[in-house]
Chain A
Amino acid sequence: MNRLTQLFDKKKDNLLNVYFTAGYPQLDSTVTIIRNLAEAGADLIEVGMPYSDPMADGETIQQSSMKALANGMTLETLFQQLTEARNHTQVPLVLMGYFNQVMQYGPERFVKAAREAGVDGLILPDLPVFEYEQEFREITDRYDMQVTFLITPQTSEERIRQIGKLSTGFIYVVSSSSITGKSGEITEGQKAYFARIAAMDLTQPKLIGFGISDAKSFRTACAYANGAIIGSAFIRALKDVDDVAAATRSFVHGILSPASVGA
């Protein structure tokens, strides 16, 4: 059974999904980061496949991707690392990347290898709905690989319903019209948008991402969805650290511990 389905069956609130770029800060950080994220309390993990031209990503993820590629990260290496990580944890893993990476590896070969390496879901922000339905869905369904689509404040209700029907995984609620990496307070306008989505009664779990950076914004997001996704803030916390394991744990504790929630 898919680990994401199991997770969503048993836990409906305050799901913490942490994103990191595979191969950053060091090529071999992947297993350490996954193990420590899971042990510290992340419910699921989004593993970024570093890409040369990540068009939906801000500077933080761009730079971590460049570093990871310079460190020598490849999909082959990543699948080996994920296989190794699966010896230590059953935390659900979602791969995030750009469709060209999947296309070059070969869609079926990619899904099969990822599934064998213990990946439960995919997020490919530039995979169009039509091409997904025509060429890709048959493969992901066959391998029980869940696929997540994004919605944004500009996505029409009709399209949200369509995306709801197509997403086999959770729905990624992009918090604002922006690339990744923005941080700051969640505005009243964003809360209204989250509330609008919450009221739509979509069947899939919803996770809010983009701009979620600390305990406070995590809590706020969780009030409107099943959980939230933190990415760039974690990448920033890994910059120049000597002890990746300790930095990972302390980052997750900072998000989850009530003491740090503040006012």
Chain B
Amino acid sequence: MTKNLQIDVDERGYYGRFGGAYIPEMLHPNIEQLKNTYREMTADPDFKKEFDALLKDYVGRPSPLYFAKRLSEHYGTNIYLKREDLNHTGAHKINNTIGQILVAQRLGKKRIIAETGAGQHGVATATVCALVGLQCIVYMGEVDIARQAPNVARMRMLGAEVRPALSGSKTLKDATNEAIRDWINNPEDTHYIIGSVVGPHPYPDMVARFQSVISEEMKWQLQEKLGRDYPDAIVACVGGGSNAAGAFYHYLNDERVRLVAVEAAGLGVDSGESAATSVLGTEGIIHGSRTLLMQTEDGQVIEPYSISAGLDYPGIGPLHAFLIDSKRAEAISVTDEDALAAALFTARTEGIIPALETAHAFSALDQMEYGPDDVIVVCLSGRGDKDLAAFTTYLNGLAG
């Protein structure tokens, strides 16, 4: 028998103590409108039809669940890869932006803003804006603009304006601050497409629902392949936590399934240059959500660090704070070095170059324990083309 955990958000957006909507009054009308409409709107048959059709014909879903034979042999277990890297634009991010652009259209919004770290969410947002013909502005930290240059070029090609965020550590957190400020300045015509399960309610729940297609497919794909619809463990990297939320979603209440959230340790959890929020964080408020957060005693946010722009964030989504705090999920942290090594190993073992973010999830396999009959699904959140500069530096370093 499985225990029925009933993990869901309450009407104020809380998962246990985590979540809520800590926003200035200027954002209240927009958030309130979203909160009051998103569930009904997205449950509407016309919405679902449009969403499903775009996921199928435009994104290319269902994404395959691929048995990784050589990785499985190496680890002595059964490893399946949920191939979000094969989606149009190369990552899971587009599942959410397709959903949110349909929401924006129904709200009558004319202008779209987004934040991005690795640039995958920026590209996915620019893509759906081009698809429906809406103006798109993407905020991106200056540091990330430099380290994810290919994605900046893609966004421009797609017609988006990329605005550098120059404050703080000039990364994802700061891009998010700028996007929020833009929304405060443009409350009426603009919809903010947040790229992860972060931000004020209803974003964490709305984004998780759009990403939940990942585990919805996983269920029938496992059933087809194995005759049982659940794995023993699901492993996913966590920046804000949207690919993890999507991969965990339909198993949240199924305790047979281990949920493994992989964070970026940067130069090491205790190095002072890290983004391992579940270890280094304490309860606090960031970007409108009460969650785990890297901060000083005085509540000042500590600038995070990771080689991976998509994991370089000082918080995690409130759902993950809840899952980790309640021990429903386990957190593993992986350093830059180990992630780079895992990316190389995955490339040469399976012929798949993963994104640096995803490489953290692969590396976590080295830290986990499992039996020979276990079934482990790794959420292959994105492809690594955008990270070739970092991989090349790494390869040159190995060549000495």
Are A and B bound to each other? yes
Q: Which residues of A contact B (CB under 8 A)?
A: 51-53, 55-56, 58, 62, 66, 69, 74-75, 98-105, 125-128, 130-131, 149-152, 154-156, 159, 163, 174, 177-179
Q: Is B184 an interface residue (CB 8 A)?
A: yes
Contact B29 A53 (CB under 8 A): no
Given the known A-B contacts A128-B20, A179-B184, are A174 and B300 also in contact in the complex, defined by CB atoms under 8 Å?
no
Cβ contacts under 8 Å, A101 to chain B: 298-299
Q: Which of A56, A127, A130 contacts B12 (CB 8 A)?
A: A130
* Residue in B167, B173, B283, B287 with the greatest tally of chain A CB atoms within 10 Å: B167
Contact B295 A128 (CB under 8 A): no
Closest chain A residue, CB of each to CB of B287 = A55
Count of A-B contacts with CB under 8 A? 101
A179 to B184, CA, bound (A): 6
A33 to B288, CA, bound (A): 32
Q: Which of A99, A104, A154 contacts B26 (CB 8 A)?
A: A154
Closest chain A residue, CB of each to CB of B26 = A152
A–B Cβ pairs within 8 angstroms, 12 of them: A51-B299, A56-B181, A74-B298, A98-B299, A100-B285, A100-B286, A100-B299, A104-B299, A126-B22, A152-B25, A174-B25, A179-B185
Contact B288 A103 (CB under 8 A): no
Can you list the 8 inter-chain pairs with the closest CB atoms, starting with the nearest? A104-B299, A125-B24, A150-B25, A100-B285, A52-B300, A56-B24, A101-B299, A100-B299
Closest chain B residue, CB of each to CB of A76 = B298
A55 to B293, CA, bound (A): 16
Closest chain A residue, CB of each to CB of B178 = A55
Given the known A-B contacts A53-B177, A55-B177, A99-B285, are A155 and B25 also in contact in the complex, defined by CB atoms under 8 Å?
yes
Contact B168 A52 (CB under 8 A): yes
Closest chain B residue, CB of each to CB of A66 = B167
Given the known A-B contacts A51-B300, A52-B301, A177-B185, are A104 and B284 also in contact in the complex, defined by CB atoms under 8 Å?
yes
A62 to B167, CA, bound (A): 8
Q: What distance in Å separates the Cβ of B359 from its nearest Cβ neighbour in chain A?
A: 28
* Residue in B20, B285, B297, B299 with the greatest tally of chain A CB atoms within 10 Å: B299
A204 to B180, CA, bound (A): 30
Q: What distance in Å separates the Cβ of A62 from its nearest Cβ neighbour in chain B?
A: 6
Contact A154 B22 (CB under 8 A): no
A24 to B188, CA, bound (A): 34
Q: Which of B26, B180, B299 contacts A174 (CB 8 A)?
A: B26
* Residue in B285, B288, B297 with the greatest tally of chain A CB atoms within 10 Å: B285
| With A55-B184, A75-B298, A150-B24 already in contact, 13 other A-B pairs whose C-beta atoms are closer than 8 Å | A53-B286, A66-B167, A100-B286, A101-B298, A101-B299, A103-B283, A103-B284, A104-B282, A105-B299, A125-B25, A127-B22, A154-B26, A177-B188
A139 to B25, CA, bound (A): 22
Contact A128 B23 (CB under 8 A): yes
A149 to B24, CA, bound (A): 9
Contact A100 B295 (CB under 8 A): yes
Given the known A-B contacts A53-B301, A155-B25, are A126 and B181 also in contact in the complex, defined by CB atoms under 8 Å?
no
Q: What distance in Å separates the Cβ of A23 from its nearest Cβ neighbour in chain B?
A: 12
Cβ contacts under 8 Å, B167 to chain A: 62, 66
A239 to B298, CA, bound (A): 26
Q: What distance in Å separates the Cβ of A53 from its nearest Cβ neighbour in chain B?
A: 5
Cβ contacts under 8 Å, B28 to chain A: 152, 154-155, 159
A66 to B166, CA, bound (A): 13
A105 to B286, CA, bound (A): 16
Closest chain B residue, CB of each to CB of A56 = B24
Given the known A-B contacts A52-B300, A177-B188, are A149 and B284 also in contact in the complex, defined by CB atoms under 8 Å?
no
Closest chain A residue, CB of each to CB of B201 = A128
Given the known A-B contacts A53-B173, A104-B297, are A131 and B180 also in contact in the complex, defined by CB atoms under 8 Å?
no
Closest chain B residue, CB of each to CB of A125 = B24
Q: Is B187 an interface residue (CB 8 A)?
A: yes
Cβ contacts under 8 Å, B184 to chain A: 55-56, 177-179
Cβ contacts under 8 Å, B300 to chain A: 51-52, 69
A40 to B187, CA, bound (A): 37
Cβ contacts under 8 Å, A52 to chain B: 168, 300-301
Cβ contacts under 8 Å, A155 to chain B: 25, 28-29
Contact A98 B285 (CB under 8 A): yes
A178 to B186, CA, bound (A): 7
Q: Is B235 an interface residue (CB 8 A)?
A: no
A125 to B25, CA, bound (A): 7
Closest chain A residue, CB of each to CB of B303 = A52
Mark interface residues in B237-266 (1 if CB within 8 Å of A CB, else 0): 000000000000000000000000000000
A53 to B296, CA, bound (A): 13
* Residue in B184, B188, B282, B297 with the greatest tally of chain A CB atoms within 10 Å: B184
Closest chain B residue, CB of each to CB of A182 = B185
A150 to B27, CA, bound (A): 11
Q: What distance in Å separates the Cβ of B206 from its nearest Cβ neighbour in chain A?
A: 18
Given the known A-B contacts A53-B173, A55-B177, A130-B12, are A103 and B299 also in contact in the complex, defined by CB atoms under 8 Å?
yes
Q: Is B21 an interface residue (CB 8 A)?
A: yes
Given the known A-B contacts A52-B301, A104-B298, are A126 and B24 also in contact in the complex, defined by CB atoms under 8 Å?
yes
Contact B21 A128 (CB under 8 A): yes
Q: What distance in Å separates the Cβ of B111 from its nearest Cβ neighbour in chain A?
A: 14
A212 to B24, CA, bound (A): 19
Q: What distance in Å separates the Cβ of A80 from its nearest Cβ neighbour in chain B?
A: 14
A130 to B25, CA, bound (A): 13
Residues 151-173 of B at the A interface (beta carbon under 8 Å): 167-168, 173
Cβ contacts under 8 Å, B298 to chain A: 74-75, 101, 104-105
Closest chain A residue, CB of each to CB of B30 = A154
Cβ contacts under 8 Å, B173 to chain A: 53
A130 to B12, CA, bound (A): 9
Contact B180 A154 (CB under 8 A): no
Cβ contacts under 8 Å, A53 to chain B: 168, 173, 177, 286, 301
Cβ contacts under 8 Å, A163 to chain B: 25
Contact B181 A58 (CB under 8 A): yes
A102 to B290, CA, bound (A): 13
Q: Which of A62, A105, A131, A178 contacts B185 (CB 8 A)?
A: A178
